Structure 1
Amino acid sequence: MSCHYLHRTKTRLSSLRGKNWQFTSKRNSSLPVHPFHRSFHLFSWYSHQLEKHPLLTKSITAGIIAGTGDVACQSMTESCWNASRTSRFVLLGSLYSAPSRHYFFQYLARAFPGSLPFQVAQRVGMERVFFAPASLAVWLTSLWTLESLMDETSVPKSPFSNVSHYSEQFTTTYPHLLRTSWLWWTPIMAFNFRYIPVQYQVLWVNVFNLVWNTYLSYQTSRRTEKVDQDVSKDQRNRIEDSVEQMVEMHMMSHALY
């Protein structure tokens, strides 16, 4: 009798062991979800999208961050929002900057693998010496072309049809932006290639770009507020115009990444 009972007990336990049991509690179901868990689930979802649709996810993210950075910049330096300018940053961020970085960063990871200082220096050198100058030239030409197409420039022709004017503008703008890019982004790219996984490198650069642009806009807006009230109106306008030009140049330099 006891053997029969023991056999039935083992059979019952084996059948229960094969089932998937989920214990829920009404008492715990109403508890609020901690923000950390929500952030973790959001990051997990984003990581899954990066694995499933890497280029599309990076392009959408870059466009959103570029547009957000420009809106933040305009809110601190402009009296009204220029939607066309924001749309240009979104288009260039999503259709040019993110795809070019996506493929180039993957190439660097394959061509110069490893995390040793010399290997990281190789990737930084390739990005700083070859990719950054070429990308800056393409980005400036694309920006000026979009401005001409949107009728937001004093020159009604694109850089391809008015070479002399844009060549002069290029020679005065490009060297300063390239120096700024080399000075500011070189240590950031070194950290990026050393510690950030390749699938998150574009996101890291875009997020840092958003923080930097917002900080730069805040500092430059504070500088214009400190202009002496006794200065003449023409002088004050010239100072504000120079500050705005500096903001736009820095925005163009850092929107590349």
Structure 2
Amino acid sequence: MELNLIYNPDLFVLDEKYLFNLMTIRRAFSKAYASYRQAMDDAFSRKYLFYTNVLLSTGISTMGDLMEQNYEIHTKEIEKIDLGRTSHMALSGGTAGIICHHWYKVLDRFIIGRSLGEMHTLIMSWRKLTSNVKNWGYLKRVRRVVKVAFTDKYLLYTNVTISVSLSALGDSLEQSYELYVKEQKEYDAKRTLNMAFSGSAVGVLCHYWYKILDKFIVGKTADMVIKKLLLDQLIFSPIMIMTFFGSLALLEDNPLQNFKEEVRDKFLTLYTAEWMVWPPAQVINFYFLPTRYRVLYDNIISLGYDIYSSQVKHNKSLKTMTKQSENGKKSS
């Protein structure tokens, strides 16, 4: 079978108009690409880098929230897009962009170079970073203030200030969550002030309690730690819970009646939570930390517990459940 191939030169002749259009498209594409490169270079230049990072963080946070809300609409968890929630996420993304921008500049200032190399290089870089941080004037002033704050002369005031601040912060976080899930309509500043007052009473008690424990039970052996732990849970935890309810009742109407009701309805809930949270935390506290840092450690650990305490204290359903059970017993 023969295959005849006939070459026709007319088939390979390109029209001039077609060539002109092709060159025009090519030039337009080249100009667009050059403009894009220039815009990218400008956006990531030293002059505009801060604004670029903030816009990127804001935009991606916004896009992420919109994608999540679209998924929730698809699964019928929500009915429509919540633009307020998206704006909050955008604000959070912008804040993160600012922090990340300056953090990476600080890192590149103190640790210069990109070689991963051997472990020795990393160790030397870390030493250089810590050396530069130690020599930073602002940090030196902060260290001096902290050192003075934790001396015996000022330790009581420091512990009370820490307890007040973190109790107020815990309640603020809890109220923010309740506002988000629409359990309450507006922020209650008085409630936060009451929780801060309760934190001051707890701070005073903790300060003297740890001094008493370390005075009468000396040492950090396993036996001593267990003794301190048992005394803390069996004696001090109930006192702390009673102080918490009592200090808040003082700021409410009918203090004595409210105190009795709160203890009856909610004491067991908080005391059970105490046994879940504090035994492992207090082992670290009693074994590793000196007395002056114990209230600080307690308050850091108890930030989450303060949120829970605020939720239990202001949870009306616990009181309602208790009354229903009492009414059921009376009727039976």
TM-score, normalising length from structure 2? 0.48
User: CA separation in 2, counterparts of 1:196 and 1:134?
Assistant: 23
Matched, 1:90 2:172: no
Is the alpha carbon distance of 1:49 and 1:168 closer, same or farther for their aligned partners in structure 2, counting shifts above 3 Å? Answer: closer
1:212 Cα shift?
A: 5.1
> Which residue in the other structure is 1:55 paired with?
156
Which consecutive residues of structure 2, in runs of 5 or more, have no partner in the other structure?
1-108, 111-130, 180-184, 320-332
Deviation at 1:145, TM superposition (A): 2.4
Please state whether the residue corresponding to 1:146 is helix, strand or coil: coil
Distance in 2, matches of 1:248 and 1:43, equals 45
2:214 matched residue in structure 1: 109
* Structure 2 counterpart of 1:141, one-letter code: G
> How many angstroms does 1:63 deviate by?
0.8
SS at match of 2:196: helix
CA displacement 1:76-106 (0-9 Å, x = unmatched): 1124211001101111112x11111001101
Q: Could you say which residue in structure 2 is the equivalent of 1:187?
A: 280
What residue number does 2:226 align with? 121
1:55-74 pair list within 5 angstroms: 55-74=156-175
Question: Do the aligned residues in 1 keep the contact of 2:265 with 2:318 (CA within 8 Å)?
Answer: no
Distance 1:246 1:132, change over 3 A: farther
Partner of 1:77: 178
How does 1:16-55 map onto structure 2 within 5 Å?
37=136, 38=138, 41-51=141-151, 52-55=153-156
Q: CA RMSD in A?
A: 3.2
Deviations along 1:98-148, one digit per CA (max 9) or x if unpaired, are 111001101111111111111111111111111111221122122122122
Equivalent residue, structure 1, for 2:247: 142
* Superposed counterparts of 1:218-229, under 5 Å: none
Aligned match of 2:21: none
1:199 counterpart letter in structure 2: R
How many residues align structurally?
181
* Residues 29-88 of structure 1: per-residue CA shift (max 9 Å, x gap): xx9996675556524421311213111111112111111121111111124211001101
Q: Aligned residue for 2:315? A: 245
Higher-Rg member (1/2) = 2
**Overall identity of the aligned pairs, in %:** 20
TM-score, with normalisation over the residues of structure 1? 0.61
